Amino acid sequence: MNEKRRPKINKEVVQWLIDRKPSMVGSDAILEAYVFNVHNELTMKQGFFNLEWMNFEQMSEAKAYPFLFIFTPVRF
């Protein structure tokens, strides 16, 4: 995806996520760490699992907005 068109996550989006209390978040967006430390807020302070570098480009091109995502963590 063109970096100029890629969505960005800011403090308002992080607060929106926190208010909804998810157990996991994931995104293909760029984290604006220089403005607000998104990773620290979501994973360290809130304890959310964070799945990074997801690729939604083909789904976006196909306008496949509703989808089922199943994640099974690896056992340690």
What is the predicted pLDDT for the residue at 38?
A: 78
* Residue 12: Cβ within 10 Å count: 9
Which residues lie closer than 8 Å to 24 by C-beta, 6 or more apart? 48, 49, 50, 51, 71
Helix (H) or strand (E) segment spanning residue 31: strand 30-31
Q: Do the Cβ atoms of 27 and 54 come closer than 8 Å? A: yes
Q: For 11-47, how does the pLDDT look when each residue is reduced to its tens digit (9 = 90+)? A: 888 899 899 998 888 777 665 555 567 778 888 899 8
Question: Rounded to whole angstroms, how far apart are CA atoms 64 and 58?
Answer: 9
Looking at the whole model, is its pTM more than 0.85?
no
